[in-house]
Amino acid sequence: MRSKFFYTNLLFGCAAVIITVAAPAHRGLFMALLLLAYSLVLAAGCSFIAWDFFLKSQNTLPTSPVKQIALTFDDGPIAHSTVILDILQHYNVKASFFLVGQNVAQNPQIAQRMQADGHVIGNHSMNHGHLINLKLTRGTEAEINACNAVIQKHIGITPTLYRPPHGVVTHHLAWALARTGLRSVGWSIRSFDTASKDADALLARLQKQLHDGAIILLHDYCPITAVVLPRFIEHAHAQGYEFVTV
């Protein structure tokens, strides 16, 4: 199935031909405007994973006869991850953890506990660098393979799920995932726990956005997330939701 990126290129390519043929006198102006519009569309396609612009990501859970939601945690494992694991264990909730390879190498016992506790382990790149989204296909593929190798070494499994760092997707990522066979996982609720300072406000935001089939993005290194998590789990249970993994 062709991506939205493919059809966007086709559409703008046709528009460029029409401008060249129908408006040669104003070609420079119209082509500049067309290029600006194309750049804005690409930027939005990179930034909003739910658009499925370059590739198809799982942003919600499959339809189920019961109300289900999934907790996902990015950027671990670190020491604070154990606080999250203790909370999940207390409430008998399973979650999905998207791990950074270098953190797995530094905290293998915590990663092993995640697996032993029955949580799903996903790939979140080897280094999660700020410039990772500028890498070409082979560089992105190397990040994915290196992370999977570290997880395989310390946990004994090879992840099949990938959460793009920063939620940014590109055509190079699409090609890298096609080559490695991993499936992209996004979200339908972004908590913004990394920027939150008020636990009550964070909880209220999560409660307001809660919906059946939600995949919720959280981070296990954020102290505020550990504060809010028990209250959110209790609220979701009271609303009749079942917690599942992606």
Q: Which residues are catalytic?
A: 74, 219
Report how far apart, in Å, the C-alpha atoms of 239 and of each of 72, 207, 208 are: 19, 10, 12
Which sign, positive or negative, has the C-alpha torsion 84, 89, 95, 99?
positive
